Every structure is written in C-alpha cells, then in structure tokens.
Structure 1
Amino acid sequence: MVPAVLPSIWLGYASVAAGGAVFNDVHLNGVDLKGRVSLPAAFRQTIDIRSGSPKVASGLGRTLRMTFNAALKCIEVSDGLQIAETEEQMNAHAVRVSEQTGELVGDVLDRLEAETYPLMKDVNFDTAGRMVLPDRLRAKAQIGNDAFFVGRGRRFRIWSPEVLRAAAGGESGDVLEEMEDLLAKRKERG
C-alpha cells in the first residue's frame, strides 16, 4: 500500500518507475558451462519500456551494468535508465558535498566515480535475451548451473540458490519459498 502523502525521500524515486515499469517477480534460469543465461522475458519487456526514456543514452537499450554485492554475495544489475538515474544522483550529491565542504564538485565526483565504476561490468544481451555472465562476477557470486533472478524495482539481483539459502536477510522468506518451488518444479521435469 502506498501512503497518501509520500515522504520526501520517495519523491526522488517517483520518476524512476518509468510509468510503472519496474523489475518484479522471481525467475530461475539455467546457466551453461560458458556462463550463458537467458534474461527472463518479463525483465526484457521492462528493459524495453524503460530504455525508451529520454534519459537513456542511445545504444544502452540492451546493456546491463553488473556489479558484485559483497555484503549479500550476489550480482546487482542496473539497466540504462537506472544507470542514468545513478549518474544524476551522483552529480546532485557531489554538488551538495561541494556546497557543504567547499571542495570542488569535480573532485567529489572523481572520488564517487572511483568508488562506483571500476569494478562494474557492462553486459549486452541479444534479442532472445541471451547473455554471458562475466566470469569474475559469476565466480564471486558462486553461480553454477542455476541463476535466480529477483526483481527489486529499479534493479534486479542474480543469485546462486545455494548462496541465497545461506544469506541471512538477503531476500524475504516468501522469495526463498518461491525459489524452492521453482527448483522443485525443475527437478520434477528432469
């Protein structure tokens, strides 16, 4: 349920939803030996809608930016719209810090960018949604034969089912239940 009056913290996110196009639901897809996996069709549809935003740079429609979440041990994924929103937020934050400290905006941005971008990987997917998970990210997230996709609104996560089971507070109990159901159904099909 959405409150009648949104707290000011939520106002900055109102435009991020791109008319309600957010990453939701959970999906389980197999990963082959080369690290290829299919992006869930529902996520591809969301990306197509979100990439129509004027904020998204030309050519970023089929590009995902991935990074390893060290605290959760999963892969965090942003699409072109979230990439643009992150850049806007970093610039605004740099201006605020500059105003408070007298530091040059460029210096603040340099520091923020150094903390944010070096270990991110850009991954492209084809029209069928096939993509290759970067080896380093896949190894760090311990993703083997299965990739469990979890919609998180503006972003999504890719988990190893085994790691998610062990992650305290990584996702809700209902999400874990959904994952176990999907794994059981896959096992039944053989």
Structure 2
Amino acid sequence: MERFVSTYAMRLDSKGRMSIPAPFRALIARDGLEHVYCHPALDLPVLQAGGARLMAGIDSLIERYPPYSEAREELAAALYGSIETLRLDPEGRVMLSEGLKTHAQIRDEATLVGVGDSFRIWEPNRFRAHLAEARAKVRALKQEIGSQGATRDSRGDGA
C-alpha cells in the first residue's frame, strides 16, 4: 500500500494557490478523488490533509466512542466540522482558505510532509523547529531502547 512520504517545500502564488506534489496527487487520484480533504490539526499549528485514508482514520477514531456520547459528538464536530474539501485544479493546485492559513500561520510558503496515511502542511519555520524537537526525542528514545537491551543482555540468560 502506497503512503504519503517525503517533504516538499512549496510557495503560494499571488492568488494563494499551492501545488500539491505529484506523488501526493497520485495517491489522491487512486482514491478516485479530484480534491484533498484538509483540516486544522487538533493539537498543533499545522494542517492535516489527504484522501480516503485520512477520512477512514477519522471515522475509526470517532467510532471508538459510543453513539451519542459527549466525546464522540465533540470529536465529530471538531474533525468533520472543520474539514474543507480543497478542489485540485488542472495544474494540481489547491487554494487554502484564510482560516486554514491562519491556523497554520502560513503566508507565502509551506512545507508538505508525508506522514503515512495523510500529509501535513506546515509553515516552514515551525516545521523545522518541530522536526528538530522530534529528532531529539527519537535520539533519546533510541538511547533508552538501547540501554534496555543492554540491561537484558547483561543478565547472561539470553532473555
């Protein structure tokens, strides 16, 4: 199964349109879509975008909660209610609404980052800071995992 991968630097043109990278458009097209679903991320100043798999992930998350529960209602409103359908023009561009740009603090440049079943649209400086923080956390996790393995290996019982 194909995934959204890699990072792309994009500029918004004078009309506020941004190109979606060809590999990302190919995945959207495989879903039979001529648009991209996009919503403000719930926990970061970034946009979450994608096609059918993004929507399936949202459906799955919401369906974890009982029908009519407060949590389900709030998630549905926060996610479904904020999704915008961004139509791809013949050149593969989309227009970000002012609300989306404001949430992600995007002006004239954006960084598109594949994250598997979807992709994120970042303001470039915010993405660089986020990536640096993520890499530091991954290095710490790697050291922690490595030290746990060394502890197990040092017992001498092979477990």
Structure 1 counterpart SS, 2:28? helix
Of 94, 116, 123, the residue aligned with 1:160 is: 123
- For 2:46, the equivalent position in structure 1 comes to 74
Task: Look up the match of 2:102.
Answer: 139
Residue 70 of structure 1: how far off its partner (Å): 5.3
The answer to whether the 8 Å contact 1:35/1:133 transfers is: yes
Asked whether the 8 Å contact 1:67–1:75 carries over to 2, the reply is yes
User: Which letter does structure 2 place at the counterpart of 1:26?
Assistant: T
Alignment of 1:14-163 (within 5 A): 20-49=1-30, 51-52=31-32, 61-69=33-41, 71-91=43-63, 93-94=64-65, 98=66, 105-107=67-69, 109-163=72-126
How many angstroms apart in 2 are the aligned matches of 1:129 and 1:172? 31
The 3-state SS of whatever aligns with 1:118 is helix
Q: Does structure 1 conserve the Cα–Cα contact (< 8 Å) formed by 2:58 and 2:79?
A: no
Q: Is the contact made by 1:74 and 1:141 (CA closer than 8 Å) also made in structure 2?
A: yes
**Cα distance in 1 for residues equivalent to 2:44 and 2:75:** 21
- TM-score, with length taken from structure 2: 0.71
RMSD: 2.4
Alignment gaps of 5+ in structure 1: 1-19, 53-60, 99-104, 174-190
1:23-50 Cα offsets, whole Å, 9 max, x none, are 001111111233201000110112122x
Given that residues 72 and 170 in structure 1 are in contact (C-alpha distance below 8 angstroms), is that contact kept between their aligned partners in structure 2? Answer: no
Which position in structure 2 is the counterpart of 1:8?
none
Identity %: 27
TM-superposed deviation, 1:171: 5.0
Cα displacement string for residues 93-114 of structure 1 (whole angstroms, at most 9, x for unaligned residues)? 13xxx4xxxxxx2445434312
Give unpaired runs (5+ residues) of structure 2. 137-159
CA drift at 1:86: 2.3
What is the CA–CA distance in structure 2 between the aligned matches of 1:106 and 1:128, rounded to whole Å? 42
Q: For residues 27 and 134 of structure 1, what CA distance do their matches in structure 2 show?
A: 20
Based on CA coordinates, which of the two structures has the bigger radius of gyration? 2
Q: How far apart are residue 65 of structure 1 and its match?
A: 1.9
TM-score (normalizing by structure 1): 0.61
Q: Is the 8 A contact 2:39 2:79 kept in 1?
A: no
| Secondary structure, aligned partner of 2:3 | coil
